[in-house]
Amino acid sequence: MNKRPYVPTDCFFKGSYNPVYEKAIARGKSLCFRYNKLSPNARGAQKKILQKLFGAMGKEVTVVPPFWCDYGYNIEVGDFFYANHNTVIQDGAKVRFGNNVFIAPDCVFTTAEHAVDPKMRADGIEIAKPVTIGNNVWIGAGAVILAGVTVGDNAVIGAGSVVRKDIPANVVAAGVPCKVIRAITEEDKRAYPLYRGEYLP
């Protein structure tokens, strides 16, 4: 794995300009720019850039351009990861995705929180909190996942949701703010008649 500059995570950042952070962000943006200039079908070239960009990457990873992140190396994705157009990941802290994660278009994952106090905000105070997405998670179009959130295994996040608190495993959740609507049950398999024979007795 390539050596990457050390940037502390899950901590406060102070000051509008820090050369270490700026250099690391410039590297991430440059790789994103190169990635977004590729043909959408250039899977081999895409894989090489993602391997340089991400901190860890499983097998069968698809990120449909355009894609933007900050550092890149704070992002870890598992096997069979799919992110559709216009995914944005602000990875001042770790952003981890499990296996079989589907991300619809126009989703945002942000670890950053700025100070509410205006003087502190003007002084550049911000905190980065990690984001964790479990296995077999589907995140609907236009969802925003905020700093410090964990989404449990098998969860479904509805389109347009703003997720500011943890979502447990095995539920459908949606809304602004995002709330649990119901559990995922065996009855959900009946929504797809063509597949009943494969998934139901």
Cα(43)–Cα(196) distance, rounded to whole angstroms? Answer: 34
Catalytic annotation present for 114 = yes
DSSP assignment letter at 190: G
Residues contacting residue 130 through CB under 8 Å, at least 6 positions apart: 9, 10, 93, 94, 95, 96, 111, 148
List the catalytic residue out of 114, 189, 190, 196.
114
Alpha helices in the chain (DSSP H): 19-37, 43-53, 118-122, 196-199
Cα(192)–Cα(32) distance, rounded to whole angstroms? Answer: 37
Strand (E) or helix (H) holding 102: strand 102-103
Q: How far is CA 196 from the centre of its chain?
A: 32
Q: Which residues are catalytic?
A: 114
